[in-house]
Structures are given as C-alpha cells and as structure tokens.
Amino acid sequence: MSPGPVRGATPNRRLGSVRGVSVLSPPGRRARPSAPETSRLSSAAREELRRRLLDLIEGHRVVIFSKSYCPHSARVKELFSSLGVECNILELDQVDNGASVQEVLSEITHQNTVPNIFVNKVHVGGCDRTFQAHQSGLLQKLLQEDPAYDYDLIVIGGGSGGLACAQEAAILGRKVMVLDFVAPSPQGTSWGLGGTCVNVGCVPKKLMHQAALLGQALTDSRRFGWEFSQQVKHNWGTLTEAVQTHVGSLNWGCRLSLREKAVAYVNAHGEFVEHHKVKATNGKGQKTCYTAAKFVIATGERPRYLGIQGAKEYCITSDDLFSLPYCPGATLVVGASYVALECAGFLAGLGLEVTVMVRSVLLRGFDQEMAERLGSSLERLGVRFLRKFVPVAVLQLQKGSPGKLKVVARSTEGPETVEGVYNTVLLAIGRDSCTKGIGLEKIGVKINEKNGKIPVNDMEQTNVPYVYAVGDVLEGKPQLTPVAMQAGKLLARRLFGGCLEKCDYVNVPTVVFTPLEYGCCGLSEERAAQEYQRENLEVYHTLFWPLEWTVACRDNNACYAKIICNKFDNERVVGFHILGPNAGEITQGFAAAMKCGLTKRLLDDTVGIHPTCAEVFTTLEITKSSGLDIMQKGC
C-alpha cells in the first residue's frame, strides 16, 4: 500500500550547514549563535559525537569539514564541483557544536585545520594534500566506488524491518543482500521469507481473529433476520489451509519484490566472522562468505520456552499454532502477553475450550484498567483464567493429534498446586532476541546481556559504527511491524539517500486483536501518572454500546473508551484507549490526530460520524474523578 507519488526519490546529498546541526547536535539542542565555544564535552557526549562523525564519514563518498569563510575550503569545494562530484559539506562555523566537532575530528585525523577531507572513508587531508592527490591520480582512484566489499549493505534477517531497509537501499541504487534463515521450532515448524509478521505473527493472527469474528457474526446474523440450519461447525483444517495459502502468497511476494529491486536473497544463516564479513550457512550446511560496507541486524525474536519438564517436547508456541495440522482442542495458553490473549481469544471464538494461566498481571506495560476489562471480555466469551499460577511440568497422557497433556502448576503465592488435562499447551510467555550465534561478539557489537537486545542510538546505530539494527532486536523500542518497516526504510534513506529523518518511536498506536479489540496510542494511565502526576491529569471515559450490538442483544457494558488529558497543557490528550469492535480501524486516525497535538477541546469541536463507535470520543463528558456512573442502560 504505497502512496502514488514517491517522495524523496531524488536524494539531496548535500549536507548544508543547517542539516549539519541536526546530524551533529545531541537531540533536543537547537542552533545557538556561533559564539567561540570552548569544549566541555563529557566523555559520553564525546563518544557519541565521534560515532556520529564516523557515521557521516562512512556513509558518504566525499565529506568536507569546512568553514564557510575559509578560502582553502572554497578551493577544495570548487575542485570537487569541477570533477562533478557531489560532496557533503559541514560548515563548522555554522553549526552550534563546531568547536567540539573540530576537536573530535583532530583526534581521529591528527589534523586540526579545515578543510579536512574524506573520500570513500579515506582521510585525504587538507587543501594542499587534496590537490596533490588530484594531480597524482590518487583522488580519482579513491573516488571510484570502494571495490573491497561485495555489497554496500547486507541485511541479516528477512522480516518486515530488514526487507524494508534492503529494498529502500536498493531503490537508492545500492548493492544489497538479504540473508534470511528460519531455524525450525522445537516442534519442527519452519516457514518462508517475510519474518514473524507475515508467517507467524500479525497476518495469520489477524486472519484467525477474523475467523472468530465471523463466528460471532453467524450468531448475530440470526437476530438480523438471516436463517440457516442450527448446526454450525468450524473446520480447523479449512482455516489453516486458507491462512497458509495466503501466507505462502506473501512469501512469494516478498521474494518477487526483492528480485524486482535486484536485492540478492540467500536463504542462509548469517554469522559475523570478522569485521565487514559474514559467513552464510544454508540448509545443506554449505558455507559462503560475503563482505559489505554496512550491515543491518534485523533478526527479530522467537518465542521463549519454559525450562520445565515437557516444555520443548509437548508444548507449542505461536510459531506452530497457525499451521497446526490438527485442531488444538482444549487448550491451555500459558502467559498473559498480547500474543497469549489474542490466541486465547480466537481459539475461544472458534468454539474451543480455552484456559489462560497467568503468573501476575495481564498485558504488562499496557494500561491495567484496559487490560482487566479486556480480560473480563474474554471471560464472558468463555475463556477461563487461572491467575497466579505457573506451570511446573507438562506430561503426556496420550499421543495423538491432538493428544492429551497433563499440566502441573504451582501457585505463585503458596505451596498450592493444581493439575489440568488439555489437548494442547501453547506457551506465550515472551520472546527472545535472536542475537546469539550470529557472531556479534566477533566484531564487538554490544548486546544487553540480560535480554539479548541490541542497544542503538537514535540513528539505529550500534556501538560498531557500520553495524545497525532495526525491529524487535532493538532495546527499548516498540516491537511492531510498521515501526520496524518505518525504521528500516528511514535508516536506508539516511545511509544511502542523504536523508536525515529519524524514526519517531513516540505515540505509536497499537492494537490487541482479541475478539473485543483494544486499541491504544500514547500513555497508559499508570505511565501518565508517573510522567505528569495524577493530579495534573483528567481522565474522561465512558462505556458504550455499539449500535450493531443492540439488535444483536450483545453486552451493553463491555465496550469502553478512555482518554487521558494533561490539565495544564490545554487538556492535551496524552493517552487514548478504546476497547470495542474495530478498535484497530478507529485508533489509526486518532493516532494521526495525536501527532497533530490533539486536545479535549478539539475532540469536543469535532462533529461525530453517526452512527459509529468512534464518535463516542467526540462526546466524552464524564471524568473519572467525578465518579459519575458510566453504565449504559438498555436491552
């Protein structure tokens, strides 16, 4: 789904002085008049600046550190312009941290004068050295594309983020390779190109969610006058086949799209063996090495297993569920992540008996009021919750498709244990980054040892300047497909397109596709209270009864809308939450509005679209602090 006219197709490679500011200033600082500046850089700031400078040098063919009034600088600029070579010029007298730049630059080059010239990552020197190089022919040699590497960019991991980055780099004319290899799950499930979202995430999940919604639609439709036989059954095989057919077509689409853009795709596991070099091992164990100037790690995550008896042998995860060759039957879902609740929701919606075992809270990190309301909506659908229990052993009672498993669970609050018999146990207790076994230690890329995630700066750059990371492997970033895609695309544009736009990780909307969908954008009530103090917030909320639910005689107090406003900033909306049908579709536009600085007043001034669920946000009147009743009457 790409908008018609492609923007940014002709990259502006010139780094003007104004742009230089945004490259080189720490975030949040604005240009000050360029008074002579004494350097007071902390070591962290120095390190960051150094990284940015290296990035600038690495990322561009010609970089000239210059001063706008310097005649030597002007001569060098003329020289390159006469050679028809585009340069990236940073005028140190026009950026606010020019003095610091010059200081760090002299550490890198042992030259503290301008101009200071780099060609294809090689430090050429000042004005005289550049003209000498031009006369000797060295400059022309340096200007030729660096022949040392096989590729400009190798992306490890063919998921949403990696593919977006690879394709954008290819569109910008770079030579790009994607390495993608799916290690089979403990149950032996494997899949094609496209990563988690396409194969074992958003896409099959949303389709199964849709199947469950259609089940509800079948029930509703009778109230709306449709007549058909009482006997309605669901066929798991038909569903998984349809889902997998679609997934297969997407795999194919990914490959086709790479081929069209001349991105080399190798179905092999990539592992760094030395700087700028990866070893690719394919399914048959054949090994090939490739080199590249830059690398992007986009290996994503895989479901975590419990270290308990029987987990790997008998349990499945979301990696297996969407292509499970048999109906899972009575299912125990372990965990309360959104993956857990979504799976529990659609399995229940398909008519299966579902139990969710929760160690502590539902949807950690999400608004807890919303999480609890969502939990209740699942309960009303027949999902059973076992709170404050963790499984300690899974035993097979009977083989089969599905078989019978006994699960022993222990209370988190005491010695109590419970046992239950299920056909299927689905683990959804979290996901681990795929950052082990890819040779990061060989080239010194730091990972967070606790969670395996890769820390990056706001340019998605790791501590090794030519290595970047996008997607779920990132530390402290939202784990969402569109975010990874956006980050990957912008990264490629920065690396190869002379573009400076960074990925904005704030106010990213997200939706939990449980049968009653939950959409949110911005802060949870808990987080808002931390950031703004509870007394500075006003929370408006209401229950609502979708019109379509009235005739269908569905619950009149299940759907809920809430906004969190900052009283002292014009009642600016800092959190948006909706639990109701089509929450996904509703949230998108409101997220756009939040980017534009949505306030309560603007909501009030907007005419509702009648009759929809979304219009409830234009008539929110009851504050939580008033304690007024928000129950809807009727039916």
Partner 1 sequence: MAHLLRSRVPTWPPPPRGPSGHTHQEHDTGQQCYDLLVIGGGSGGLACAKEGTRWGLGGTCVNVGCIPKKLMHQAALLGGSLHDASHFGWEVAQPIRHDWRKMAEAVQNYVKSLNWGHRVQLQDRKVKYFNFKASFVNKHTVCGVSKGGKETLLSAEHIVIATGGRPRYPTHIEGALEYGITSDDIFWLKESPGRTLVVGASYVALECAGFLTGLGLDATVMMRSVPLRAFDQQMASLVTNHMASHGTRFLRGCIPLKVERLSDGQLQVTWVDLASDRKDTGTFDTVLWAVGRVPETGSLNLEKAGVWNSPDTQKILVDAQEATSVPHIYAIGDVAEGRPELTPTAIMAGRLLARRLCGQSSDLMDYDNVPTTVFTPLEYGCVGLSEEEAVARHGEDSVEVYHAYYKPLEFTVPERDASQCYIKVVCLREPPRLVLGLHFLGPNAGEVTQGFALGIK
**Site for partner 1 (CB under 8 A): which residue of 220, 353, 475, 555?**
220
Contact partners, residue 523, CB within 8 Å, separation at least 6: 531, 564, 574, 575
User: CA-CA distance, 275 to 283, in Å (whole number)?
Assistant: 24
In this complex, which beta carbon is closest to partner 1, that of residue 227 or of residue 449? 227
Is 183 one of the binding residues for partner 1 (CB under 8 A)? no
* Distance of closest approach, residue 201 Cβ to partner 1, in angstroms: 12
Task: With CB under 8 A as the rule, give the number of residues binding partner 1.
Answer: 73
Residue the block writes with tokens 């977006």: 164
Among the listed ranges 131-139, 309-317, 563-571, 597-605, the one in contact with partner 1 (CB under 8 A) is 597-605
466-485 residues near partner 1, rule: CB under 8 A = none
Phi, psi of 320 (to 5 degrees): -100, -30
Applying CB under 8 A, among 154, 603, 620, 630 the residue interacting with partner 1 is 603
Report how far residue 225's alpha carbon sits from residue 551's, in angstroms, rounded to the nearest whole number. 10
Please report how close the Cβ of residue 382 comes to partner 1 at its closest, in angstroms: 17
Which range in 18-26, 495-503, 530-538, 586-594 contacts partner 1 by CB under 8 A?
Answer: 586-594
Is the Cβ of residue 236 or residue 389 nearer to partner 1 in the bound state? 236
Distance of CA 190 to the CA centre of its chain: 22
CB of 254: closest distance to partner 1 in angstroms?
A: 15
**Using CB under 8 A, which residues numbered 370 to 429 contact partner 1?**
none
CB of 522 to partner 1, least distance (A): 13
Scan residues 62-81 and list those touching partner 1 (CB under 8 A). Answer: none
User: 429 vs 613, which CB is nearer to partner 1?
Assistant: 613
Stretch that binds partner 1, among 86-94, 231-239, 284-292, 479-487 (CB under 8 A): 231-239
Please tell me whether residue 589 binds partner 1 under the rule CB under 8 A: yes
Pairing of strands 264-266, 389-398: unpaired
Work out whether 585 is an interface residue with partner 1 (CB under 8 A): yes
Is residue 103 close enough to count as binding partner 1 by CB under 8 A? no
H or E element at residue 472: none
Which two structure tokens, joined as six digits, stand for 481?
A: 């497909």
Q: Which is nearer to partner 1, 203 or 443 (CB)?
A: 203
Q: Which helix (H) or strand (E) holds 259?
A: helix 236-260
Q: Closer to partner 1 at the Cβ: 239 or 386?
A: 239
Asked whether the bond before 204 is cis by omega within 30 degrees of 0, the reply is: no
Among 27, 605, 629, 631, binds partner 1 (CB under 8 A): 605
Asked if 350 is part of the footprint of partner 1 (rule: CB under 8 A), the reply reads yes
Q: Are 15 and 23 in contact (CB under 8 A)?
A: yes
236 binds partner 1 (CB under 8 A): yes
Number of neighbouring beta carbons within 10 Å of residue 272? 22
Q: Name the residue with tokens 């990190």.
A: 365
Stretch of residues binding partner 1 (CB under 8 A), selected from 133-141, 169-177, 235-243, 397-405? 235-243
Q: Is 10 in the site for partner 1 (CB under 8 A)?
A: no
Regarding 197 and contact with partner 1 (CB under 8 A), the answer is no
The C-alpha atoms of residue 451 and residue 477 are separated, in whole angstroms, by 13
Alpha carbons within 13 angstroms on the beta-carbon side of residue 80 total: 24
CA angle 305, 306, 307 (to 5 degrees): 115
DSSP string, 138-191: HHHHHHS--TT-SEEEEEE--SHHHHHHHHHHHHTT--EEEE---PPPTT----
Q: What is the DSSP letter of 5?
A: S
Counting contacts by CB under 8 A, is residue 335 touching partner 1? no
Site of tokens 């990259």: 11
| Alpha helices in 261-381, H assignment, sequence order | 311-314, 318-321, 338-349, 368-380
- Interaction between residue 627 and partner 1 (CB under 8 A): no
Measured from the CB atom, is 116 or 514 closer to partner 1?
514
* Cα–Cα dist 105/144, whole Å: 24
Active site residue 234: no
Asked whether position 596 contacts partner 1 by CB under 8 A, the answer is: yes
The CB-of-43 to partner 1 minimum distance in angstroms stands at 39
Which of these ranges, 151-159, 267-275, 527-535, 580-588, lies near partner 1 under the rule CB under 8 A? 580-588
Cα distance between residue 363 and residue 338, in whole Å: 6
598 contributes a contact to partner 1 by CB under 8 A? yes
- In whole angstroms, give the CA distance from residue 537 to residue 571: 8
Residue of 188, 285, 611, 627 that binds partner 1 (CB under 8 A): 611
In angstroms, the CA 77 to CA 417 distance is 76
Backbone phi, then psi, for 236, in 5-degree steps? -60, -40
Smallest distance, Å, CB 232 to partner 1?
A: 5
Q: Binding residue for partner 1 (CB under 8 A) from 9, 35, 607, 631?
A: 607
Residue 1 binds partner 1, judged by CB under 8 A: yes
Binding mask 245-264 for partner 1 (x = CB under 8 A): xx--x---------------
The region of 240-248, 332-340, 356-364, 452-460 touching partner 1 under the rule CB under 8 A is: 240-248
Angle between helices 481-496 and 43-59 (to 10 degrees): 70
Q: How far is the CB of 517 from partner 1 (least distance, A)?
A: 11
Spatial separation of the C-alpha atoms in residues 135 and 578, rounded to whole Å: 68
> Residue 303's CB: how many other CB atoms inside 10 A?
24
Interacting positions 514-573 with partner 1 (CB under 8 A): 547-548, 550-551
Residue choice 227, 413, 449, 629 for contact with partner 1 (CB under 8 A): 227
| 195 in Cβ contact with 157 (< 8 Å) | yes
Residue 629: both structure tokens together: 């009743």
Cβ proximity to partner 1: between 412 and 550 the closer is 550
The single-letter code of the amino acid at 384 is R
Tokens of 602: 């603007």
The reply to whether 609 sits near partner 1 by the rule CB under 8 A is yes
CB of 616 to partner 1, least distance (A): 9
State in angstroms the smallest separation of the CB of 480 from partner 1.
16
Query: Given candidates 14, 32, 141, 223, which one binds partner 1 under the rule CB under 8 A?
Result: 223
Tell me: does residue 507 bind partner 1 (CB under 8 A): no
Of 591, 503, 578, 500, nearest to 546 (Cα)?
Answer: 578
Candidates 536, 509, 503, 540; CA nearest to 522 is: 509
Binder among 101, 170, 193, 239 for partner 1 (CB under 8 A): 239
Active-site positions? Answer: 610
